[in-house]
Chains A and B, each alone.
Chain A
Amino acid sequence: MTAQPTAMDRGYGRNYLPFAYPALLITGAVIVFPWLFTLFMSVHEWKIGSPRAFVGLNNYFRLFGDERFVESIGTTLYFTLLSVVLPVLLGTACALVFNERFPLRGLCRAIFILPMMATPVAVALVWKMMFHPQLGVLNYLLSLVGLPPALWHTSLDTVIPTLVMVEVWHWTPLVMLIVLGGLAAAPTEPYESARLDGANPWQMFRYITLPLIMPFVVLAVVIRTIDALKAFDTIFVISEGGPGTASETINIYLYLQAFAFYNIGYASAIVVVFFVLIIVLAMVLLWLRQKAKWS
């Protein structure tokens, strides 16, 4: 019996590599080169309109003494945590509801996912009008039920929860769709066995449904975390990072340094540190995803 020829024997690398060149070229041009250039810029002091000077790691040392940058890390994590946990909890609950059969279920599902289809900037502008402390419809609605007006995005204490509220409204449907997919793919046999064994609905959810949908929930967490970390449009339109610096996430601070103050070198250092932060978080989430896989 002769051994099967390997990929190397067939000369795949030699014969087919040229087909990968266009993709490699594009990846190099739009991903690798910008990254290398960002790293290069991060070790320079360069303000638009001024000459560029090599400063080594000074921008990085300066970052960790920069009160606003350190504060922005905390704000980013706080915003991300709320913007991930709440849509995931609500989206999962909604998926469980929409997984049941009831009249007009299809129509209700379609209506529920509408927010997801709206453009974030347009959504933010509409919410901003509704948040207006004197003229906004939200405070009017609160007054109808006898509640005092809220300050929404114009208060240091409520700005982050207000922004998270918009995120929740916008992205809960996405989580619902992902988890609903998991529920549709789940096998029915374990439920039949559980019923025969006399399990109650809570026990079936806790010991069958939850483990089955967990990989999908983790996937939703991964997607939401990435989205929340890179959130910019909603925050910028509604609060511009304010009041003061109360909602200034890393993205907002980075934007200010790069495009308002034109400190390109310093902003590049922020990008590099932010990238490291994202990599660490992504690794933790991928590890969690591996743990949550069906065995």
Chain B
Amino acid sequence: MTTRKENRRGISRRAALRAGAGLLAAPAIMKVATAQTGGAFNWRRFAGQSIEVSLTLGPRATNLRTHEKEFTELTGIRVGSEVVPEQQHRQQQVIQFNSGNPQFDVTTVSWHVQKRLFGKSKWLVDMKPLLADSQLTAPDYDWPDFTPGGVRWATQADGRMDTLPNNIDPWMIYYNKELFAAKGLAFPRTFEEIVMAAEKLTDKSAGIYGWVSRGLKNANVPVWTSFMLGHDVDPVDPKTVKLQTTTDGAIAAAELYKKLNREYAPPGTVGFNWNEAQTSFSQGRIGMWIDGIGFAPPLEDPTKSRIVGKVGYAVMPQGPKARHSATFGDGIGVAAGSKKKEAAYLYCQWATSKLMCNRLLQSGGGSPCRASPYKSPEVIAGLKLPREWLSCLEASSAIGRPGLPEIVPVTEFRDVFGVGLTNTIGGADARAEMQKATDAFTPVLAKSEA
């Protein structure tokens, strides 16, 4: 209500001050109002809700669970998380999704095994609209910080993106510097030199072996494909979706796998998965071990390893036709059947935030899909592993190429070819085994792609 004095004189000084104060306060008032009604981004918008998170057992899950309380403090969202061993987790996810009523809102996804199946079944929410929503995505989330490789992994063929990139796992070679020095050897630069070095390092009477890798069926396939990529061959042609497992490159890779594991690996390697190989290597009697880069922390832990400070981290050597590091990875997504999608999406954002990615890299438990952690001197200063590991990680990521085909029946592919590879360690002919496996898997692939 205006006074007579105001009417007479126009706007009074007091009124002008009131109006000015109102104008100054407007953004703050608007911020509060929009936060309450869903306007600008607010971490606490879904405070009071609770979500269930299903994670694969491993260092990434440990990283998230260790700091879970921070998420609850930040958002007011309560988190119930469960951690399940990899193999069982994948089965549990598929069964729960297929039931139409998954018991979790957020889950991690192994791209190299589950990407096509999950994409085809549309079990996860498309992240693209959520990322584009300024009310749901934190202004400092910095999407451009994610590496193109990670984004490519997370994106389905139809353009949907059903996970946020969480981790990339390039394969490399761990080597025992002490054993190499004792024989006066430098780390191999080519596949041929790997064989030569393995031969020179092996001294069976002393219980020393030049090589170790996975021999157990299914688990062993990435070792073979790592060699195959050096021949510039993918197990399945990404364009035609045809098997390339009997090509010269694939057979040569199987021969190399056979030779290294049969002649220079410790007895019993045929039953080794990564953990048996890691245990053997950590005891200081193995020259080289090929596997994922995320297995380094126990090797530098004096309570678990006899080779602390003696481990070399090397990029996959040059193959006859190419140089690649077989790459695997995982993302984190929101179940399409979740009733708390927005709260679940906030969790995914937090899990892949710069802070959490920095922590993941520092722990050595994985390689985040953001560029910033690798550029930050503070993050690198806090690294718990040698700098050589980080250099190897960066160089391996730069030559990364998917280590498994992007098809629906990946597990069946690994099983069928894994049996063939195991048989080669027993002495079977590599070409015959790969041909047999190819014949067995061709109809499975054809049916899945029909």
B272 x A154 contact (CB < 8 A): yes
A151 x B216 contact (CB < 8 A): no
| B409 partner residues in chain A, CB cutoff 8 A | 261
Q: Are A49 and B117 in contact (CB under 8 A)?
A: yes
Residue B110 interfacial (CB < 8 Å): no
Q: A132-B276, A243-B426, A244-B426 are in contact. Are A49 and B267 (CB under 8 A)?
A: no
Q: For A242, list chain B residues within 8 Å (CB).
A: 216-217, 270-271, 422
Q: Using a CB-CB cutoff of 8 Å, which residues 139-183 of chain A contact chain B?
A: 149, 151-156, 159
Q: Which residue, of A243, A244, A260, A261, has the highest number of chain B Cβ atoms within 10 A? A: A244
CB distance from A70 to the nearest CB of B (A): 14
Least distance between B284 CB and chain A CB atoms (Å): 11
Q: Say how far A168's CB is from chain B's closest CB, in angstroms.
A: 20
Please name all residues of chain A whose beta carbon is closer than 8 Å to the beta carbon of B217 when the two chains form the complex: 240-245
Given contacts A133-B268, A155-B268, contact A49 B121 (CB under 8 A): yes
For residue B244, CB closer than 8 A to chain A, the reply is no
Interface members, chain A 42-97 (any B CB < 8 Å):
47-50
Interface centre among B117, B270, B285, B408 (most CB of A within 10 A): B270
Q: Decide: B422 and A244 in contact? CB cutoff 8 A.
A: yes
| A161 smallest CB distance to B (angstroms) | 14
Bits for B303-329, please: 1 = Cβ < 8 Å to A, else 0: 000000000000000000000000000
Q: Which of B279, B280, B422 contacts A243 (CB 8 A)?
A: B422
B residues near A156, Cβ cutoff 8 Å? 270, 426
User: Is there a chain B Cβ closer than 8 Å to A278's Cβ?
Assistant: no
User: Which A residues, 235 to 251, have Cβ-Cβ distances below 8 Å to chain B?
Assistant: 239-245
Which one of B121, B269, B415, B423 lies within 8 Å of A154 (CB-CB)? B269
Q: How many chain B residues touch the partner (CB < 8 A)?
A: 36
- Taking the complex as formed, is A203 at the interface, i.e. its CB lies under 8 A from any CB of chain B? no
Q: Are B207 and A154 in contact (CB under 8 A)?
A: no
Cross-chain contact A149 with B415 (CB below 8 angstroms): no
Q: Return chain A residues, CB-CB under 8 Å to B411.
A: 260-261
**Contact mask for chain A residues 246-264; partner B; CB cutoff 8 A; 1 contact, 0 none:** 0000000000100111100
Decide yes or no whether A27 CB sits under 8 A from chain B.
no
Q: How many Å from the CB of B234 to the closest CB on chain A?
A: 22
- Whether A48 pairs with B94 at a CB distance below 8 angstroms is yes
Q: Closest CB of chain A to B44's CB: distance in Å?
A: 38
In the bound complex, do residue B98 and residue A49 qualify as a contact, i.e. CB atoms below 8 Å apart? yes
Q: Mark B243-278, 1 if CB is under 8 A from A, else 0.
A: 000000000000000000000001111111000100
Q: Which residues of B contact A243 (CB under 8 A)?
A: 215-217, 270-271, 422, 425-426
Instruction: Give the Cβ gap from A111 to chain B, nearest Cβ, in Å.
Output: 31
Name the residue of chain B whose CB is nearest to the CB of A247: B271
Q: For B422, list chain A residues within 8 Å (CB).
A: 242-244
CA distance A259 to B266 in the complex (A): 32
A262 touches B94 (CB 8 A): yes
Q: Which residue of A lies closest to B426 (CB)?
A: A156
Residues of A contacting B269 in the complex (Cβ-Cβ under 8 angstroms): 154
Residues of A within 8 A of B272 (CB): 154
- Minimum CB distance partner of A159 in chain B: B271
Residues in B whose Cβ lies below 8 Å from that of A262? 94
The reply to whether B94 and A134 form a contact with Cβ atoms under 8 Å apart is no
Q: Is A31 an interface residue (CB 8 A)?
A: no
B419 touches A134 (CB 8 A): no
A135 located at the interface, meaning its Cβ lies under 8 Å from any Cβ of chain B in the complex: yes
Question: Roughly how many angstroms separate A244 CA and B216 CA in the complex, as a whole number?
Answer: 7
Residue in chain A with minimal CB distance to B91? A259
Q: State whether A260 and B412 are in contact (beta carbons under 8 Å apart), knowing that A242-B422, A244-B419 are contacts in the complex.
A: yes
Query: B270's contact among A135, A155, A241, A245, by CB below 8 Å, is which?
Result: A155
Give the distance in Å from the alpha carbon of A151 to the alpha carbon of B216 in the complex. Answer: 14
Cα–Cα distance between A259 and B412 once the two chains are bound (Å) = 11
A245, B268: Cβ atoms closer than 8 Å: no
Taking A132-B276, A134-B207, A155-B270 as known contacts, 15 extra A-B pairs with beta carbons closer than 8 A to each other, sorted by chain A number, are: A48-B94, A49-B98, A134-B267, A135-B283, A151-B267, A151-B268, A154-B272, A155-B268, A156-B270, A241-B217, A242-B271, A243-B216, A243-B422, A243-B426, A244-B426
- Give B contacts to A, CB under 8 Å: 87, 91, 94-95, 98, 117, 120-121, 207, 215-218, 266-272, 276, 279-280, 283, 285, 408-409, 411-412, 415, 419, 422-423, 425-426, 448
List of 8 A-B pairs having minimum Cβ-Cβ separation, nearest first: A154-B271, A133-B268, A154-B268, A243-B270, A244-B422, A261-B412, A259-B91, A49-B121
